[in-house]
Amino acid sequence: QVQLVESGGGLVQAGGSLRLSCAASGRTFSGYAMGWFRQAPGKEREFVAHITWNSESTYYADSVKGRFTISRDIAKNTVYLQMNSLKPEDTAVYYCARYRGGSYYSAREYGYWGQGTQVTVSS
């Protein structure tokens, strides 16, 4: 069974930075693309970033492009999301998920999810 555990969230002032981590269990991590999503109160879960299994390609939502960076460390079974120049509108619960195919920006195309980590950006 695949288990994903996010960490690194917290409270930060606007303009600050955070780095989220997503630790995956099992040998089923290295061969899969991974994604980050977020969900703010009262809103649908939205795509943030995606990284292919070999880190050759990354994709970002327009709202975070140039500020967020997704990366992965195969040896550590971990995916990261470096978030810089944070804005109050980035406040949400952030989730990592394992991709299973199809549209990388659609939450329906991810089969395993972590429990999420809260990010709060104050103005």
| 15-34 pLDDT, tens digit each | 999 999 999 986 667 789 99
pLDDT score at 27: 62
Name the CA radius of gyration of the chain, rounded. 13
**pLDDT tier for residue 2 given thresholds of 50, 70 and 90:** confident
* 98-121 pLDDT tens trace: 999 999 999 999 999 999 999 999
pLDDT score at 23: 95
Mean pLDDT rounded to a whole number for the chain: 95
The contacts of residue 40 (CB under 8 Å, 6+ apart) are 91, 92, 93
How many separate helices (H) and strands (E) can be counted in the chain? 0, 11
User: Is 53's pLDDT higher than 70?
Assistant: yes
- Mode of pairing for the β-strands spanning 78-83 and 18-24: antiparallel
When pLDDT is averaged across residues 54-69 and rounded to a whole number, the result is 97
Alpha-carbon dihedral angle through residues 24, 28, 29, 30, given to the nearest 10 degrees: 150
